[in-house]
Structure 1
Amino acid sequence: MRKLAKKINETQRNDQDSSNYLFLYKILTNLNDTNIFMLFLTFRLPSVYYNLIWDCDETYNYWDPLHFLIFGQGTQTWEYSPVYALRSYLYLLIHSLPLIPFKSLVTSKITLFYLLRFIFALIQSYIDLNLFKSLKKLSKDDPKIFQYVHYFYLIFNLTNVGLFLSSTSFLPSSFSLYLITYAYSNIYLNNYKRSVLAIGLAVLLAWPFVAILGLPVIINFLLKKSILKFLKTTILFGLIIGGALILIDSYFYGKIVFAPLNIFMYNVLDTTGKGPDLYGREPFSYYLKNLFLNFNVLFPLSISSILLLLSVSLKSKNFSKNSFLTYLGIFLWLLVFMTRPHKEERFIYPIYELLIISSALSVSLITNFLLKKNRIYSIIPNLIILIHFLLSLSRLLALLFNYSSTISIYFKLNDQNIKFSSPHLNYKSDINVCVGKEWYRFPSYFFIPERTEMHEWNLKFLESDFKGQLPGYFTRADNITTIIESTRHIDPLFNDFNREVTQRYVTIDKCDFLIDTDNLSDEKFNKATKLNWKTLASLPFYDSVEKYQILRSFYIPFFYEKQVLFTFFKLKVRVP
């Protein structure tokens, strides 16, 4: 017995000594919950301010309708027409609740935009903490195999560019990311009801297709509990969430509406030539490329770790069985969305954390194996951390250097010295800010100056090469009565075939400000438009690269500055 105890103590001591060779292992794993939460939040805060809007859906289907509910003004897409009713107002109302109390306290609407993003960062940080704790507990339950999984999860989470982009986006796919992460973290802790509740909220409030990721949760629940208990839990949560959804949306649309069913039928069951494919088709490789850009070395590690896990599954009594459910979720999601013709980066957001977990599992298994051989091999997991961090940073810098002017130019518009830079604007009641070919980069009405007693600012569209359907407008509303009248109003110009609506365009002589990209001097532009324009701001914007295409996606010092070509995002004002 003494020999056995001595051997166990030596093994534990060797494991502790081995961990000293991992980057900041002892410091990070010995932090208390509060410090871990603050660490997550600290790394999310840059995303609050520097993250851009990468999809016009985020602007026109979420930020602008939210702006309408708070300020009574905003663009409206066909999905919010009572004829189609694909989007949920309950989803918007939930996001409006933390903002409304601050409406009269802030001097700029932009503050509310970043306040909501900060709330997203808080939610993501709390959920990440919950997952970290569950991984840490489970790694202790099976230290021979998964001793380091919580450590690698923490490191990869903090340094991943994909989570930087997704965690503070106002999208159902990001909302689903929070809830899926919470559901799966509770799988590891066997909190079945919380997992089912999180999946139910994601499916009904955010995105019905997340039901695919609910299958592993259901399997886990049924393995641990009875079918009767599962049905009781599911029906109870379904009635509460679904009932609230139907009541709120039916009130706003003026008819009985169940938005998740409508969006499912449009995207999956429609046979009339409509559906998401109208908005573009991408090859099978689209997501492979995208996942490599946002996860770099972690992507192949996350996929290959299933083989490593299979090789040790017989030795693991607990965690490996739960981790297979993680792989099942990843596999099912990629299987469905990779085979759909219409692909978008945001569609993969819900499994971003699952990919981090699986890559952490992979590197944890590799580390255990290598450190048992020789401590000098600790350079390999440390090298993986370094490569992932450098590639993620390079990717992030390239995105911000290339495209940050899309939001920065609207900050210029809100500058007091610029808003009324032309004297005639003081005497106009309606001031029009026009966008042309860059309409899809508009960050939302939160960046259009506030309405005053003398002036009302509006966004207008100029005709460009884009020949699809642009958004319309909610009718102006000043109280809850007129808001409901506006949401129930049927605009006959809306269609679900993405047909161009020429009535939405204005001519350039109706514009007071113009925000767009061009290389023309003021003199040439004035001659082309037969109007007088003055450039108030001009910010660099990615145009192309001369030689190395990789520089579009990754920032490489010296080469980037030499090879990348820029055009300019310009803010112009019309002068008499």
Structure 2
Amino acid sequence: MSLSTRLRRPQQSDDPSSSSSPPPSSFYSKVDKQGSLSNYWEPLHFLLYKSGFQTWEYSSQFALRSYLYILFHELVGRPASWLFAEEKLRVFYAVRIFLALLSVITDTVLRVGLSSLAFLELIIPRMSVDDIIFQVSCQAHSLSRRFKQAFLAGAAISVALLVSSVLVDHYYYSGWTSSLLNLLIYNVAGGGESHLYGTEGPLYYLRNGFNNSNFCFVLALLFLAMVPIARKKYAPNLLIVVSPVYIWLAFMSLQPHKEERFLYPIYPLICVAASAVIESFPDVFRFDYDSQGNSPTVMTAKILRPVVLSLILCASHARTFSVINGYSAPIEVYKLLEDHDDVGTGSILCVGNEWHRFPSSFFVPDYVGEVRWIDDGFRGLLPFPFNSTLGGTAAAPPYLNSKNKASDLQYLRDLDQCTFLVELQLSRPFPSRGSDLSTWEVIGALPYLDRELSPAKYRSFFIPYLWQHKNIFGMYKLHRRVPK
């Protein structure tokens, strides 16, 4: 693998996270990849503190991202910035907790909404034939109306959001544009070149689905096979609810540019489909002559349900522990900057091949005047600071382009200006500026899982003892220039 390819972006199959994870992960999970940071956290930081990195997607010339989504974060970020003043890390975590709570609430609402689909299963065994016919007719009519109402409500909300997005973007981009239309043209209709940012094979999402949802993802894919067996329970109502899982997977798999985060919209439905399959285990072994379901095979299948749930729970925790222990070094190392304000204001933090793991400007104290990239061989376009003199959010800087071509201005050439240096040192013949002990002193170092040298079966899931001894680790380091 070439150096430029290796530095382009982190491998999402082993290094995921979500900013809308449950509350514990809001504190302990690593921050998402650079694309998400520059496209969401950095614009938010600019709105709050008038500094932050801008990607070409936020250039008013291209306008692929809507500020409506950023304002949604600002609902919490703005009051938190007033409350915590210069403690930007607290603002960052306040927003993450807000997103985590929203995730919990929406998942709960989904669970309550789906509970009505199980209504017939609970009441049918206690009814006569006439009661069953009457209740089925009433429920079918009710569900049909509810699906129609849900569709109309969804359409109305979509139109309202689209209009709101256009109005908000008009304010920030200083011109009429539709980020949704621009995004569709770029990624789908062939108007852009998203393949420049990485292409993957057709099985990419299947591998990532198992990595992040383990057996839950496998069971979700088996839902279609279970529908004929348990069709009285799930067809057509629940089948309609979870159908976006298969439509989304098929559609996204056809796109050359793939990222694990593109699966985020269907994660809740993957859990719904898997739950339905687990609940239907006894139906696989129930036959017409065993209407009560008392056969040994049916009883065994019932016992199998908690066993499978326990297996999913263990695998999920093993995956979480692997991600936290293997990839959380960047977020912890950047926190150490808070303890070195004695260097004075106007310091420069330099980042080389680790630009894609920069955890956002929220982790950079105010005494640091700039974060600058240094040339370590990467030849793609990197984010630039928002330029207020060119118009801030309304700017269309000439150095930003949609071809992923590096700009001559993106790198700091005079490395003597660097006050701090962030590097990942691996067991490879890659250049390491921090090894010059006459220039740099290490002020923070944490182990970081070396994906390329660690076996997949040991790095993907945390297995005590084996995870520590079978995997290979580098050192994620924060250096400080030695005073002359």
TM-score under structure 1 normalisation? 0.70
**CA positional deviation for 1:189:** 9.0
Q: Give yes or no for the alignment of 1:264 onto 2:184.
A: yes
Partner SS for 1:293:
helix
Partner SS for 1:256:
coil
Partner SS for 1:86:
coil
Which structure's residues are more often helix, by fraction?
Answer: 1
Q: 1:278 to 1:325 in 2, by over 3 A?
A: same
- Aligned equivalents of 1:288 and 1:511: distance in 2? 43
Q: Cα deviation per residue 1:315-350 (whole Å; 9 max; x = unaligned)?
A: 34xx53111213431221111111211111011111
- The corresponding residue for 1:514 is 421
Q: 1:67 to 1:376 in 2, by over 3 A?
A: same
Q: How does 1:179-258 map to 2 (within 5 A)?
A: 190=146, 192-193=148-149, 196-198=152-154, 234=155, 237=157, 240-258=160-178
Code of the residue aligned with 2:376 in structure 1: it is S
**CA positional deviation for 1:548:** 4.0
Cα contact 1:398–1:551 (8 A) shared by 2: no
Code of the residue aligned with 2:481 in structure 1: it is R
- Aligned equivalents of 1:369 and 1:475: distance in 2? 62
**CA positional deviation for 1:533:** 1.2
Code of the residue aligned with 1:255 in structure 2: it is G
- Aligned equivalents of 2:186 and 2:426: distance in 1? 41
- The corresponding residue for 2:115 is 136
Identity %: 30
- Aligned equivalents of 1:527 and 1:77: distance in 2? 28
Q: Across the two proteins, how many residue pairs are aligned to each other?
A: 434
- The corresponding residue for 1:489 is 395
Q: 1:192 to 1:486 in 2, by over 3 A?
A: same
Cα contact 1:268–1:275 (8 A) shared by 2: no
Q: Give yes or no for the alignment of 1:278 onto 2:190.
A: no
Partner SS for 1:270:
coil
Equivalent of 2:258, from 343, 359, 364? 343
Q: 1:384 to 1:144 in 2, by over 3 A?
A: farther
- Aligned equivalents of 1:197 and 1:275: distance in 2? 35
Q: Cα deviation per residue 1:458-507 (whole Å; 9 max; x = unaligned)?
A: 2110111221100111025xxxxx8x931122211111100011311013
- The corresponding residue for 1:204 is none
- The corresponding residue for 1:505 is 411
TM-score under structure 2 normalisation? 0.83
Cα contact 2:226–2:277 (8 A) shared by 1: yes
- The corresponding residue for 2:13 is none
Q: 1:545 to 1:145 in 2, by over 3 A?
A: farther
Q: Cα deviation per residue 1:507-564 (whole Å; 9 max; x = unaligned)?
A: 32121111111269xxx96797696211101111112586743112111112122211
Q: Give yes or no for the alignment of 1:101 onto 2:79.
A: yes
Partner SS for 2:76:
coil
Code of the residue aligned with 2:186 in structure 1: it is Y
Q: Give yes or no for the alignment of 1:443 onto 2:355.
A: no
Q: 1:499 to 1:129 in 2, by over 3 A?
A: same
- Aligned equivalents of 2:124 and 2:193: distance in 1? 46
Gaps spanning 5+ residues in structure 2: where? 1-20, 126-141, 286-292
**CA positional deviation for 1:73:** 0.2
Code of the residue aligned with 1:468 in structure 2: it is G
- Aligned equivalents of 2:462 and 2:144: distance in 1? 38
Partner SS for 1:437:
coil
Q: Give yes or no for the alignment of 1:401 onto 2:307.
A: no
- Aligned equivalents of 2:433 and 2:193: distance in 1? 42
- Aligned equivalents of 1:449 and 1:61: distance in 2? 21
- Aligned equivalents of 1:188 and 1:54: distance in 2? 40
- Aligned equivalents of 2:98 and 2:434: distance in 1? 47
- The corresponding residue for 1:297 is 215
**CA positional deviation for 1:282:** 0.6
Cα contact 2:230–2:283 (8 A) shared by 1: no
Q: Cα deviation per residue 1:136-167 (whole Å; 9 max; x = unaligned)?
A: 33213223899xxxxxxxxxxxxxxxxxxxxx
**CA RMSD, aligned part only?**
2.8
- Aligned equivalents of 1:530 and 1:399: distance in 2? 31
Cα contact 1:134–1:188 (8 A) shared by 2: no
Cα contact 1:144–1:368 (8 A) shared by 2: no
Q: Give yes or no for the alignment of 1:332 onto 2:247.
A: yes
Q: 1:518 to 1:187 in 2, by over 3 A?
A: farther
Q: 1:456 to 1:77 in 2, by over 3 A?
A: same
Gaps spanning 5+ residues in structure 1: where? 1-42, 147-185, 199-233, 477-481
Q: Give yes or no for the alignment of 1:49 onto 2:5.
A: no
**CA positional deviation for 1:87:** 1.0
Q: Give yes or no for the alignment of 1:68 onto 2:24.
A: no
- The corresponding residue for 1:391 is 315
- Aligned equivalents of 2:183 and 2:143: distance in 1? 28
**CA positional deviation for 1:269:** 2.1
